[in-house]
Amino acid sequence: MIRSLLARVVILAALSIYCLAGTSYVIVNNNPFGPNSVSAYKLDTANGSLSFYGKVATTGQGTGGSVVAVAQAITSDARCLFAIDSRSNDIAAFASPSYKLVGKFSNSALNFSNYAGGTIALSPNGRFLYGGYTGSLNIGAWRVNPNCSLTFIAAYVASIGADAYYGLGVSPNGSTLVVSAPDFQAAESFKIGSTGSLTDLGFVSFANVTSCIEAGCFPAAIDFTKDSKVVIFGNPSSQPSVMTASLGTSGTLTNPQEWDLPNSSGVAFSNAVFLSAQAYAGNGFLYVGMASGVVTAAFTENPLSITTVNSTAITLFAGGGLASTGNTLVLTEAGPPQDLATFRINSDGSLTPLSTVTDKGGDPIWPTIYPNTR
């Protein structure tokens, strides 16, 4: 009886910042076709095992699969947790320590596509939340209130044109929002104001980059270097590659480049990118989630260089999301069944399978590791 009560009231209480020291958790938006929920798995970084910890219902509706994008977010202090309900067209918000549902937030100017889903990203200070809305083809800006509820700020369309904006991220210094515009082979940046409002700073185009002309460069997932000077984009193209752009102090994007990632596994379509802690700081491994595999690349920020060092074919991996902490990589695998898998990252960049669990809650598309160790 006591255990049942705790499960209902504090099912994710261990995500409180006071309880997480020395412990890692993997958080996923379950995204089933039907009633949606968010699950947390305890990650043992010593052996890579994942154990189910708890689940909270959003009371909204998922899509049961969508374009790969980050569909959940948690503040750095674990105070607030957010998840997209694509089919019911809202963002569910939860507040610690019990992670009780605060509410579901939507606006008539914004909607997620029932098929393509959407993406969200938090500012590092946890004050603002931004969404890429694949139905209304625009960007939504929200203010995060002290109780974790959301207040709508405004909707924006990038100057290059309306797009699904599948990739969306806030620079580590919190000053710039960068969004992918794959239909235009471009990316756009916005200056984030003190109230969370956005000022469009223009776009950078990859369409005329020589190496992009034949196979195309379609910016997808986004990651940044720690100093907020380089942005890395996935490229869901038949040519295995990633793209980069320089992010100036004013927030403008310049110097578009494409980096080929030939690999012995023959994998392509890079839907996901994630810098290791070392690469985030300037020199280390970049992990690229391709269709049916992962490419590990050597990343150097100055002078900028990205080259393949290893690749791993993964049968059930269909370009899902990935993230790493220390020498452990976590990724989502397509199904059914829908799995979360962990791998040991070896010194040569190769990956050794460690553990696999089936997410019984639905169809997760991207993992978030808490706490962020970068």
> Which pLDDT tens digit goes with each residue over 20-57?
445 899 999 999 889 999 999 999 999 999 999 999 99
Alpha helices in 145-296 (DSSP H): 277-281
Q: Which tens digits make up the pLDDT trace of 47-76?
A: 999 999 999 999 999 988 766 789 999 999
Instruction: Enter the DSSP assignment of 235.
Output: B
Looking at residue 101, its amino acid is L
CA distance 314 to 271: 15
pLDDT at 68: 72
If you average pLDDT over residues 178-198, what whole number do you get?
97
Q: Which residues of 74-84 are buried (b: 16+ CB within 10 A; e: fewer)?
A: bbeebbbbbbb
Least confident of 99-113, 224-238, 335-349: 335-349
Q: Is CATH 2.130.10.10 what the domain over 2-370 is classified as, yes or no?
A: yes
Of the chain, the end-to-end C-alpha distance in Å amounts to 40
% the chain with pLDDT above 90: 82
337 vs 307, residue with greater confidence: 307
Residue 148 exposure: Cα atoms within 13 Å on the Cβ side: 24
131 vs 23, residue with greater confidence: 131
What are the respective helix, strand and coil percentages of the chain, to the nearest 5?
A: 5, 50, 40
CA distances to 110, 128, 151, 154, 167 from 107, rounded to whole Å, are: 5, 16, 10, 9, 21
CA distance 271 to 13: 32
Claim: this prediction has a pTM higher than 0.85: yes
Strand partners, 140: 131, 155
Q: Does residue 249 register a pLDDT over 70?
A: yes
pLDDT at 336: 60
The structural domains of the chain, with segments of one domain joined by +, span 2-370
Q: Does residue 307 register a pLDDT over 80?
A: yes
pLDDT at 127: 98
pLDDT at 320: 72
